Amino acid sequence: MATVSFDNLPSDARLWVFAAGRPLDAEERGRLLALVDGFLEQWKAHGAPLSAARDWRYDRFLLIGVDQSAADASGCSIDAMVHQLAGLERALGVELLDHGPVLFRRDDRIERLPRPAFNDLARRGDVSSDTIVFDNTVTRVGDVREGRWETRASQSWHARAFNLL
């Protein structure tokens, strides 16, 4: 099935967010998106084509969505996606699958820190409940549209995890 526009996915479409370990340059971004597009064009679950889309944001976030009204992404099909992304990690020399680091805005840039380092910033007061964080655990396209992906720390799991209440 041909990919669809990310904007045309329904709000209840399943979502995965992958954050690159660093911003990608134009050549790397082109390679990444070409390979992802090629994968999505042929992505299937139990032989059924998936209606999928991707979006690329801020030179480092890959969002992949699947409209599950026609066919659900299965464990095997999700494993195939992760396998493709693991190959891209090696080819580009950049992390895509590590969900451990915290990504957040500081001034006009996006930073990525291990959780203990972000926790140190929280304890020192260098980040607060008003800090804009990226909640890469969101699971629906609607979460992105409704502002739950890029949000104040007080509105995400970050508040509890890093005592930013």
With H, G, I as helix, E, B as strand and everything else as coil, classify residue 41.
helix
Residues in Cβ contact with 132 at an 8 Å cutoff, skipping those fewer than 6 apart: 104, 105, 150, 151, 152, 153
From-to residues of CATH 3.30.300 in the chain: 6-92
Q: What CATH number does the domain located at 6-92 have?
A: 3.30.300
> For the segment 108-124, what is each residue's pLDDT rounded down to a tens digit?
899 999 999 999 999 99
Report CA-CA distances (Å) from 130 to 2, 109, 163: 40, 15, 12
Q: Round to whole Å and give the CA distance between 160 and 113.
A: 17
Max CA distance (Å), the chain: 52
> For the segment 24-66, what is each residue's pLDDT rounded down to a tens digit?
999 999 999 999 999 999 998 888 889 999 999 999 999 999 9
Residues in Cβ contact with 163 at an 8 Å cutoff, skipping those fewer than 6 apart: 122, 123
pTM: 0.94
